[in-house]
């Protein structure tokens, strides 16, 4: 290791930039064989045999009656809102990626942001109740439970609250494939759940996703919304969309599903290596995936105590970027403070858990491209940053 950190003029830890979360690729031979089948069948899309096989495997794995594969998670959320006939306002957490709020915005819904429990990095029934009380009188149609970072935001508690307040409850489990709450896999909580199989997810279809539900009627609506050419039992829907998953996407997803357990084990080994490497460094530790009995461990999140460590998450991210280490802030700012929701002329809601998470949480590199040896070097760079925090602060100022 260079005696000097790169931000202070030394050589970076890694010669090439290391991405924050490189996707898992299946072995090339299996990929070629799967695509040979597509060429033989000469069939690209609209509920082909691979998409149908994927739906059966997902439904079995997630213990639900229906898994409806779609072209990506964003479209899945839009379709779920349409199939449920949601209109008006919807509660969802501000400490989340923008994708769910954006998708529901396309579906004509207006977000009402709730806070999170900063220790768990998840929404709770209490934070949703607080948002409902804050919105006093304004019709709220639904609550979106967003299960983030390999953890979950108490789906049973949120479902009970939604029922008590007369709201529809659905979940965004884009990050949650393979996670379980008290032994029950994510997928069957609420009217519908939406998963993403995007490029950086633990199960990937290159781009893709699915909507899960145990409601036969809702499933029929979703299938008819998804394909403007019709698929499955016809039911009347007002608006259709092209949300189909192609055979090429389904082929990759099936391979990725085969690799799920191995990839989860790799993630867990990386997490253990981080735990080991960060032990003893003042002011930094890992956040446990909260609310789940099983996690996919696809996200490794460090929490900083700026006073004890010597700098906050944004400063450490900058130091690590100079080392070619792609550690990213968990969220740059809560969505309640971000464009287009946090307009300058509108006072942002008071969401202290969200603000605390933004200041203190950092996603550490994980996934296929990261080795145990690389984690040890990343932890050394973090320890070095802590030891030289005063010099780094002086340089940044
Ligand atoms: C929480 C969350 N919901 C929804 C999505 C949208 O999924 P997709 O990228 O498949 O459209 C994402 C994207 O990563 C996400 O992080």
Q: Probe ligand 1: pick from 104, 145, 179, 198, max atoms within 8 Å of CB?
A: 198
Closest CA to ligand 1's atom 5: 99
DSSP letters for 340-386: TTS-TTSPPP--HHHHHHHHHEEEEPEETT--HHHHHHHHHHHHHHH
Closest CA to ligand 1's atom 12: 99
- The predicted pLDDT at position 136 comes to 74
Q: What distance in angstroms lies between residue 187's CA and the mean position of ligand 1's atoms?
A: 15
93 Cβ closer than 6 Å to some ligand 1 atom: no
Residue 68: strand pairing partners: 211
Tokens of 82: 């349409």
Residue 142: strand pairing partners: 90, 168
Atom in ligand 1 nearest the alpha carbon of residue 96: 1
Tell the CATH topology of 6-18+260-396.
Answer: 3.90.1150
Question: Per-residue pLDDT tens for 76-133?
Answer: 999 999 999 999 999 999 999 999 999 999 999 999 999 999 999 999 999 999 999 9
Tokens of 84: 């449920």
Q: What distance in angstroms lies between residue 176's CA and the mean position of ligand 1's atoms?
A: 11
State pTM to two decimals: 0.96
Length of the chain (residues) = 397
- The predicted pLDDT at position 183 comes to 97
Q: Probe ligand 1: pick from 77, 196, 211, max atoms within 8 Å of CB?
A: 196
| CATH number attached to the domain at 28-258 | 3.40.640.10
Question: 234 vs 93, which has greater pLDDT?
Answer: 93
- Rounded to whole angstroms, the Cα distance separating 341 from 111 reads 8
Which of these, 163, 164, 168, 106, lies nearest to 143 by C-alpha position?
Answer: 168
92 Cβ closer than 6 Å to some ligand 1 atom: no
249 Cβ closer than 6 Å to some ligand 1 atom: no
- The predicted pLDDT at position 187 comes to 98
In the chain, domain spans: 6-18+260-396, 28-258
172 Cβ closer than 6 Å to some ligand 1 atom: yes
Q: Which value, in Å, is the radius of gyration of the alpha carbons in the chain?
A: 22
Q: Cα dist. 147→118, 158, 168 in Å? A: 14, 11, 17
- The predicted pLDDT at position 319 comes to 97
Which of these, 375, 391, 382, 390, lies nearest to 280 by C-alpha position?
Answer: 382
Question: Per-residue pLDDT tens for 278-330?
Answer: 999 999 999 999 999 999 999 999 999 999 999 999 999 999 999 999 999 99
Atom in ligand 1 nearest the alpha carbon of residue 208: 10
Q: What's the mean per-residue pLDDT of the chain?
A: 94
- The predicted pLDDT at position 388 comes to 97
Atom in ligand 1 nearest the alpha carbon of residue 201: 14
Question: Which residues, in sequence order, are CB contacts of 396 under 8 Å at separation 6+?
Answer: 315, 318
Phi, psi of 111 (to 5 degrees): -75, 145
Question: Per-residue pLDDT tens for 168-183?
Answer: 999 999 999 999 999 9
Closest CA to ligand 1's atom 16: 97
Number of C-beta neighbours around residue 85 at 10 A: 10
Alpha carbon 354 to chain centroid distance?
A: 16
Alpha carbon 91 to chain centroid distance?
A: 17
C-alpha count within 13 angstroms, C-beta hemisphere, residue 186: 32
Contact between residue 6 and residue 12 where contact means Cβ atoms under 8 Å apart: yes
Q: What distance in angstroms lies between residue 200's CA and the mean position of ligand 1's atoms?
A: 10
- The predicted pLDDT at position 349 comes to 87
Q: What pLDDT band is residue 233 in, cutting at 50, 70 and 90?
A: confident
148 pLDDT above the threshold of 80: yes
Are the folds of 6-18+260-396 and 28-258 the same? no
DSSP letters for 30-80: HHHHHHHHHHHHT--SSS-HHHHHHHHHHHHHHT-SEEEEES-HHHHHHHH
Tell which phi-psi region holds residue 284, choosing left (phi > 0), alpha (psi between -120 and 50) or beta: beta
C-alpha count within 13 angstroms, C-beta hemisphere, residue 365: 28
Which helix (H) or strand (E) covers residue 168, if one does? strand 168-172
216 pLDDT above the threshold of 90: yes
231 pLDDT above the threshold of 70: no
Q: What pLDDT band is residue 135 in, cutting at 50, 70 and 90?
A: confident
């Amino acid at each position: 290791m260079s005696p000097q950190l790169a931000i202070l003029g030394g050589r970076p830890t890694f010669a090439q930039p290391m991405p924050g979360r490189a996707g898992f690729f299946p072995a090339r031979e299996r990929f070629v064989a799967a695509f040979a089948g597509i060429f033989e069948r000469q069939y690209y899309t609209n509920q082909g045999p691979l998409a149908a096989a994927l739906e059966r495997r997902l439904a079995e794995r997630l213990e639900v009656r229906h898994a409806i594969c779609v072209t990506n998670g964003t479209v899945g959320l839009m379709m779920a809102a349409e199939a449920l006939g949601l209109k008006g306002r919807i509660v969802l957490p501000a400490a989340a990626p923008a994708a769910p709020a954006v998708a529901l915005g396309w579906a004509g819904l207006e977000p009402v942001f709730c806070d999170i429990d900063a220790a768990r990095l998840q929404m709770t029934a209490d934070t949703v109740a607080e948002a409902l009380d804050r919105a006093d009188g304004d019709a709220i149609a639904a609550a979106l439970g967003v299960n983030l970072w390999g953890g979950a935001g108490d789906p049973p508690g949120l479902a009970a609250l939604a029922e008590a307040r007369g709201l529809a409850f659905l979940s965004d489990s884009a990050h949650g494939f393979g996670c379980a709450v008290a032994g029950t896999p994510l997928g069957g909580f609420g009217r519908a759940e939406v998963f993403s199989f995007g490029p950086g997810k633990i199960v990937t279809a290159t781009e893709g996703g699915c909507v899960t539900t145990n409601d036969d009627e809702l499933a029929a609506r979703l299938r008819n919304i998804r394909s403007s050419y019709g698929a499955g039992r016809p039911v009347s829907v007002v608006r259709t969309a092209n949300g189909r998953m192609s055979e090429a996407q389904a082929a990759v997803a099936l391979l990725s599903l085969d690799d799920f357990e191995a990839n989860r084990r790799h993630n867990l080994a990386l997490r253990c290596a981080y735990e080991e490497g960060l032990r003893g460094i003042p002011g930094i530790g890992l956040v446990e995936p909260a609310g789940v009995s099983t996690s996919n461990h696809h996200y490794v999140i460090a929490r900083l105590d700026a006073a004890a460590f010597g700098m906050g998450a944004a400063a450490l991210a900058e130091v690590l970027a100079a080392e070619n280490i792609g550690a990213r802030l968990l969220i740059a700012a809560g969505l309640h403070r971000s464009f287009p929701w946090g307009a300058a002329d509108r006072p942002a809601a008071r969401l202290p858990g969200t603000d605390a998470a933004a200041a203190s949480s950092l996603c550490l590199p994980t996934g296929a491209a990261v080795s145990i040896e690389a984690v040890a070097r990343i932890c050394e760079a973090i320890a070095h940053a802590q030891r030289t925090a005063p010099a780094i602060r002086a340089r940044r100022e």
